[in-house]
Amino acid sequence: MAKQSSEAVLWSLFSAGGVVAALLIPVHLFLFAIAFPMGWLRPPGYEHLMLLLRLPWVRIYLFLMCSLSLFHWAHRFRYTLYDGLQVKHLNELIFTLCYGGAVAGTVFAGYLLGNWSGP
Amino acid sequence: MADKIVLEIPRYSPERDVKPHFEEFEVPVHKEWVVLDALNYIKDQVDGSLTYRWSCRMGICGSCGMMVDGEPKLSCATFLSSYSRNGNKLRVEPLRYFPIIRDLVTELSDFLVKLKAVKPWLIRQEEPPLSEGEFLQTPEQLEQYKQYSMCINCTLCYAACPVVGLDPVFVGPAAIALAQRYNQDSRDQGAGDRMAVLAHPEGIWGCTFVGECTRVCPKHVDPAGAIQQYKLKAALDWVKSFVTPLGRKNTDVRREAAND
Amino acid sequence: MDASSHDVLLVGGGGAGLRAAIAAAEVNPKLSIAVVSKVYPMRSHTVSAEGGAAGVVKGDDSLDEHAYDTISGGDWLCDQDAVEAFVKEAPQELLQLERWGCPWSREPDGHIAVRAFGGMKRRRTWFAADKTGFHMLHTLFQTTLKFDPITRYDEWFVTKLLVDDGRVDGVVAIELMSGKIQAITAKAVILCTGGCGRVFPFTTNANIKNGDGMALAYRAGASLKDMEFVQYHPTGLPFTGILITEAARAEGGYLLNKDGYRYLQDYNLGKPQPNPVMRSMELGPRDRLSQAFVMEDQKGRTLATPYGSVVHLDLRHLGEKIINSKLPFVRELCLKYQNLDPVKELIPVRPVVHYMMGGVSTDMNGATPLAGLYAAGEVACVSINGANRLGSNSLSECLVFGARAGKAAALYAAEQKAADDKAMAQANDERKRLEAQFLHKQGGRERVATIREQMQKAIEKSAGIYREETSLAEGANKLFELQERYQDIVLDDRSRTFNTELEGALELGFMLDVAESIVQCALHRTESRGAHQRTDFPARDDENFLAHSLVFRKPDGSSRVEYLPVKVTRWAPGERVYGEQAPESPQQIPQAVPAGRAG
Amino acid sequence: MFAVKQPTTKVLPLYQEFHPRWYRPRVSVYWWLGQWQYLKFILREISSVFVAVFVVITLLQLRALRAGPEAYARFQHWLQSPIALAINGISLFFVLFHTITWFNLAPRAMAVRFRGKRLPEILIAAPNYVVWALVSAGVTWLVLR
Ligand SMILES: Cc1cc2nc3c(=O)[nH]c(=O)nc-3n(C[C@H](O)[C@H](O)[C@H](O)COP(=O)(O)OP(=O)(O)OC[C@H]3O[C@@H](n4cnc5c(N)ncnc54)[C@H](O)[C@@H]3O)c2cc1C
Ligand code: SF4
Ligand code: F3S
Ligand code: FES
């Protein structure tokens, strides 16, 4: 049963992450990583962003977006490695790397967004 | 339309070969002919040792599945003429991912073990005597599982699913769809009994939603849907299992989790 | 030589076989039960039955009416005690199947829905959309999975019954996958091998319906009953022989000749009405409809196609909605195999060989005169179908008599001792025979396919919808010649592993025997009744032929035909009337007569 | 008719009479290249890598923001580098691919029924796109305000 429910947890995180990634990542990616650097749109100022980040719900929002998306990645990537490279015998290693990565990213996001005391 | 087509068929006999080799057979193309008619023509007129399974010739017994031009198909429901444009050669191979017994005949006992494993029969806690008449079931309730009851066990979906190929213990699309056929049946009370096989790493969680099973299914069973829906249910059950003790209501994670 | 041993052995995993296996397991869970089938059970031909299964459930119906429809439909050649048992148990069996999960179609309130069917005065045909046989077979198959005492031998081909001292001890079978030929002994054997449509060139029957069980029993010394009665279904698709279910007519389809005229009205089948009327016009019995086609053809009012002449089945007026909800499979088949859409187009149809009324002669419990041998389903002839089976009776028959045979065989087996070594010796001989005749044979010139084709042509010509003395005699001669040539058969395939050519050759051998029994019985019955129409003897002759034909195999291989009186309990033979004059209710039916005489 | 028969070799120690030796084809490591549907599937799965890459970029950007205006400016500058733009361009393609496949597959897993019939997939997929448009507009508005 332990094994069954852990798969259920991981899959739930994966799905939640999938929804978040599908809804949110495209617009973030487009704005911050393409439109602003390319100069298609005028980027927001440092102060404006800091102002936003001072709002707790914005930080929660960003935390969830990052964390869940990472778990989405971890789960999918794990199976992609199993299937695409047929390396199921490295099960444990892959498992640790993938979900470990997601946990690490989550901790890091928590650290960055947790107690916001920007300058 | 070309009036001849060459079939390329891998021949394999364990008594003779280490591995299959292709042989070519030229067959006439008639408008009404399906791939199976061409095979029967070869068997009757050219080489009686060509080996394949078939029976009903009306797409319902599920025995004539083959890879036709790389796609899993019922050879009795696939017109020959639709391939005569492809340079006049057509590959007909045994269903992919199955061990091959001979020529186009695949080995199925493993599939049958999986079918049985999901307990595909009506499970009841109590069985009222027959004299009480039928269990009532409205057409709407019938509709709930009808689609999943249409499976003819042709195993085309197994030949389409890469997970089956990579992980031979994966329970696989048709068997899971069959389990859902009973789980969704208003007369059944055995969903709990089927849980152990289904919500297992080699059950639903093995499926990565490639979706090919549904695309190739000749009876529109939609095993991919059945599996994802079961994943959703298993996830919800898990949420419930630790939310309920806290006395809280089942939170609505449905929408989020639904999206895989 | 390997052998395995069981208490009850089923040959065949179709509707009848699986039902019998469950019945045996339920009677006595200690028995070891085996199901031997040449295809995986869910591939059995029961899977292709479309229309439904008859059983009285609704208040406006009665057992007597079902019995009367069956008996009159069978042109009074049914054994009435068997019919009475049948109609009584059919509803229970169908209900039992519901309890096992069969997805029967329903009324809005959740009760079982029933539909009209040809030759039936009331609506009493249970259906699961138009894939009734498919759902029944899969339900049965899946249900057998939960019975541990049932062992399956999937893809094992039975070649011979082991008989010792008038008692059947088991079978010899080939495991197709390995080519191993071995004995499977048992205290009781139930044949459930289905029909023999493949004896004919144009049939709705699957490739596996070769009359194996009939020939096995015949060769073992049991008799075959009423073999001259071969049912033609009036609506098969040309070329493929795929069946367009009677349900298409029950839902209101019309049969039209080339002028778009509902020609059935010219053949004493009632007046055309816009909506279907039971036991009338398109809902008349199958023999009459198929015969009307031949008449119409002779008048030149059918359409010629490369695959024989056709008439049209018109469903267009039903509309897309009804067709999709009630007849989805019909539409699917037309689209997939005939490349036309019945919503907008006429469906070309012609009569096609469909069902074998005759078969291994059994009593009401499926027992044959050979101790330990039982038969049920299409392979058997308990005599509920008489001279013409009514649509939707045979699925119910598989259940009722499958269950009865299963129970009877289980009770019988519990009392018997296991087979002795003599069975082994016989099995060894059979293996040697198969090797000598096929696998290790030197020389030989004939191909399986050639002989099969000639046999099919011969029987169609001599024992088709209409028959007469000279053509039957010619047919008999031709079959005799083919039997000789069969000895000279040579196979391309000499390997053990999954040798389907060997299987085909053995099936051909079975079919030749069955074909011969059909022609012989048809030759001897000098009257016309139901599906057996002699142009040289157009009238029914109750004086001499209110009797079943029994055909036996003589030691020299030729056959002998005898007659057995029909059992008449409550319904004296009458005129078969369809259309408006059909009797309204059983009250008008002449009641109670002494048992019939026979010629 | 040209049925090319291979010469039959008699010396095959592996086959023993009545013990069929099944031929088991191996699945190639490149199985996903063989068929367009499989390739599409792998691309869909790979999209998750780009989701993760962008999350990492976002986290780095947050760290830069925390570290002060200069660090943030330096990071902005890096984002303009061809390499960053290339990565992000590819990412955008994959992320959009993810969004579309995710939304289109959602109905398969949901099976919403109305009067006993499963709703057509398009009816379930369409609202996803509406929500997506609204959310994207909202985020843009917040950031650009
Ligand atoms: C197209 C079609 C539609 C029909 N529609 C209806 C309908 O609507 N209503 C109705 O009542 N009836 C219908 N019938 C008739 C009915 O389906 C059959 O009579 C019935 O299904 C026969 O069942 P069975 O169990 O006797 O045999 P089958 O289902 O034919 O099974 C025969 C079994 O015997 C096995 N077998 C045969 N030979 C051997 C051997 N040598 N060794 C080992 N195993 C062997 C086979 O593998 C198989 O498992 C229809 C028939 C056809 C062809
Ligand atoms: S789910 Fe579809 S493809 Fe798979 S076995 Fe069943 S009918 Fe065939
Ligand atoms: S193809 Fe295979 S991975 Fe899942 S959705 Fe179908 S079972
Ligand atoms: S032969 Fe039965 S499904 Fe094709």
User: Residue B167: enclosing H or E segment and its boundaries?
Assistant: none
Q: Where are the domains of chain B?
A: 4-106, 109-259
Is residue B227 lining ligand 3, measured as CB closer than 6 Å? yes
Q: Using a CB-CB distance cutoff of 8 angstroms, which residues of chain B are in contact with residue A86?
A: 166
pLDDT at C587 over 60: no
Least confident range of A40-49, A79-88, C570-579, D78-87: A79-88
Cα R_g (chain B), whole angstroms: 22
Q: What is the pLDDT of residue B151?
A: 98
Q: What is the DSSP string of C265-308?
A: GGGTS----SS--TTSGGGS-HHHHHHHHHHHHHTT-SB--TTS
| D33-96 placed in CATH 1.20.1300.10 | yes
Q: Which residue has the higher pLDDT, D114 or C279?
A: C279
Active site positions of C, annotated: 233, 249
Task: Give the contacts of A14 (CB within 8 A, at least 6 positions apart).
Answer: A71, A72, A74, A75, A76, B260
Question: What is the rounded distance in angstroms from the CA atom of residue A18 to the CA atom of residue A104?
Answer: 19
Of C39, C92, C101, the CB nearest to B185: C101
Q: What is the pLDDT of residue A117?
A: 62
Q: What are residue C355's phi and psi, to 5 degrees?
A: -150, 150
Q: Please tell me the number of the ligand nearest to residue C40's CA.
A: 1
Whether B208 and A22 lie within 8 Å, measured CB to CB? no
Is residue C15 lining ligand 1, measured as CB closer than 6 Å? yes
Whether B237 and A14 lie within 8 Å, measured CB to CB? no
CA distances from D100 to A18, C379, D33 (A): 11, 56, 22
Q: Which residue has the higher pLDDT, C473 or C417?
A: C473
Q: Using a CB-CB distance cutoff of 8 angstroms, which residues of chain B are in contact with residue C40?
A: 63, 108, 112, 153
Task: Give the contacts of A48 (CB within 8 A, at least 6 positions apart).
Answer: D145
- What number of residues does chain D have? 145
Q: What is the pLDDT of residue A22?
A: 96
Question: What is the rounded distance in angstroms from the CA atom of residue C366 to the CA atom of residue C409?
Answer: 9
Domain B4-106 in this protein, CATH class: alpha beta
Residue D104 neighbours by CB distance under 10 Å? 16
Question: What is the rounded distance in angstroms from the CA atom of residue C281 to the CA atom of residue C288?
Answer: 10
CA distances from D83 to A26, A38, D86, D95 (A): 19, 13, 5, 18
Is residue B30 lining ligand 2, measured as CB closer than 6 Å? no
Q: Are B117 and B197 a contacting pair, CB within 8 Å?
A: yes
- What number of residues does chain B have? 260
Pocket test for ligand 3, best of B155, B214, B227, B232 (most atoms within 8 A of CB): B227
pLDDT at A90 over 90: no
Residue C365 neighbours by CB distance under 10 Å? 18
Q: Which two tokens stand for residue A5?
A: 């429910």
Reduced DSSP (H G I as helix, E B as strand, rest coil) percent helix, strand, coil of chain C, to 5: 40, 20, 40
Q: How far is the CA of D32 from the centre of ligand 3 (A)?
A: 14
* CATH number assigned to the domain with residue range B109-259, chosen from the 4 options 3.30.70.240, 1.10.1060.10, 3.40.50.970, 2.30.30.110: 1.10.1060.10
Q: Which of residues 55-84 of B touch C (CB under 8 A)?
A: 55-63, 77
Q: What is the pLDDT of residue A14?
A: 95
Q: Are B29 and B3 a contacting pair, CB within 8 Å?
A: yes
Looking at CA atoms only, how far is residue B85 from chain D in angstroms? 20
CATH of domain A10-33+45-114: 1.20.1300.10
Is residue C125 lining ligand 1, measured as CB closer than 6 Å? no
Q: Are C57 and B133 a contacting pair, CB within 8 Å?
A: no
Q: What is the pLDDT of residue C585?
A: 45
Q: Is C173 exposed, middle or buried (0-12, 13-18, 19+ CB in 10 A)?
A: buried
- Residues of chain B under the 70 pLDDT cut: 1-2, 86, 243-260
Pocket test for ligand 4, best of B57, B104, B150, B217 (most atoms within 8 A of CB): B57
Closest residue by Cα to residue C207 from B53, B55, B50: B55
- Sign of the dihedral through C-alpha C463, C464, C469, C472: negative
Q: Is C577 exposed, middle or buried (0-12, 13-18, 19+ CB in 10 A)?
A: middle
pLDDT at C453 over 90: yes
List pLDDT tens digits, range C82-104.
Answer: 999 999 999 999 999 999 999 99
> B149 touching C, CB under 8 A?
yes
Question: What is the rounded distance in angstroms from the CA atom of residue B115 to the CA atom of residue B179?
Answer: 9
Reduced DSSP (H G I as helix, E B as strand, rest coil) percent helix, strand, coil of chain B, to 5: 40, 15, 45
- Sign of the dihedral through C-alpha A95, A96, A98, A103: positive
Task: Give the contacts of C77 (CB within 8 A, at least 6 positions apart).
Answer: C226, C229, C383, C386, C387, C529, C530, C546, C548, C566
Mean pLDDT of C199-208: 95
Which residues in B166-203 are b (16+ Cβ under 10 Å) and which e? bbeebbbbbbbbbbbbbbbbebbebbeebbebbbbebb
Partners of B34 in beta bridges: B79
Q: Using a CB-CB distance cutoff of 8 angstroms, which residues of chain D are in contact with residue C177?
A: 20
Partners of C314 in beta bridges: C254
Q: Which two tokens stand for residue C341?
A: 């859409």
**Partners of chain D (3+ Cβ pairs below 8 A):** A, B, C
Question: What is the rounded distance in angstroms from the CA atom of residue B139 to the CA atom of residue A100?
Answer: 49
Which band of pLDDT confidence, cut at 50, 70 and 90, is reported for residue C120?
confident
**Whole-number average pLDDT of chain B:** 90
Is residue B227 lining ligand 2, measured as CB closer than 6 Å? no
Q: Are D26 and B97 a contacting pair, CB within 8 Å?
A: no
Q: Please tell me the number of the ligand nearest to residue B170's CA.
A: 3
The ipTM of this complex is 0.91
> A88 touching B, CB under 8 A?
yes
Q: Using a CB-CB distance cutoff of 8 angstroms, which residues of chain C are in contact with residue B54?
A: 207
Closest residue by Cα to residue C524 from C478, C467, C464: C467
Long-range CB contact pairs, A27-30, < 8 A, 24+: A27/D135, A27/D136, A27/D139, A27/D140, A28/A65, A28/D54, A28/D58, A28/D139, A29/D54, A29/D88, A29/D91, A29/D92, A29/D95, A30/D92
Q: What are residue C421's phi and psi, to 5 degrees?
A: -70, -20
Of A5, A9, A18, the CB nearest to B259: A18
Q: What is the pLDDT of residue B244?
A: 63
DSSP letter, residue B151: -
Q: What is the pLDDT of residue C23?
A: 98
Partners of C537 in beta bridges: C534
Q: Which residue has the higher pLDDT, C482 or A93?
A: C482
Question: What is the rounded distance in angstroms from the CA atom of residue D98 to the CA atom of residue C588?
Answer: 74
Q: Where are the domains of chain D?
A: 33-96, 110-145
- Residues of chain D under the 70 pLDDT cut: 1-14, 111-117
- What number of residues does chain C have? 599
Question: What is the rounded distance in angstroms from the CA atom of residue C450 to the CA atom of residue C444?
Answer: 13
Looking at CA atoms only, how far is residue A88 from chain D in angstroms? 12
List pLDDT tens digits, range C361-417.
Answer: 999 999 999 999 999 999 999 999 999 999 899 999 999 999 999 999 999 999 998
Between chain B and chain C, the number of residue pairs with CB atoms below 8 A apart is: 159
End-to-end CA distance of chain C: 49
- What number of residues does chain A have? 119
Q: What is the pLDDT of residue B245?
A: 55
Q: What's the whole-model pTM score?
A: 0.92
Q: What is the pLDDT of residue C582?
A: 52
Q: Whose CA is nearest to atom 20 of ligand 1?
A: C46
Rounded to the nearest 5 degrees, what angle is found at the Cα of C21, between the Cα atoms of C18 and C27? 140
Of A22, A34, A105, the CB nearest to D88: A34
Between chain A and chain D, the number of residue pairs with CB atoms below 8 A apart is: 144
pLDDT at A69 over 50: yes
Q: Using a CB-CB distance cutoff of 8 angstroms, which residues of chain B are in contact with residue D22?
A: 14, 99-101, 107
**Whole-number average pLDDT of chain C:** 93
Is residue C241 lining ligand 1, measured as CB closer than 6 Å? no
DSSP letter, residue C146: T
Q: Are C349 and C309 a contacting pair, CB within 8 Å?
A: no
Residue of chain D minimizing CA distance to A31: D140
Q: What is the DSSP string of C346-396?
A: PEEEEEEEEEES-EEE--TTSB-SSBTEEE-GGGEE-SSSTTSPPTTHHHH
Mean pLDDT of C347-355: 95
Closest residue by Cα to residue C480 from C505, C504, C506, C454: C454
Q: What is the pLDDT of residue C588?
A: 41
Is residue B57 lining ligand 4, measured as CB closer than 6 Å? yes
Q: Which of residues 43-102 of D touch A (CB under 8 A)?
A: 45-46, 48-49, 51-52, 54-59, 61-63, 65-66, 68-69, 72-73, 76, 79-80, 84-85, 88-89, 91-92, 95-96, 98-99, 102
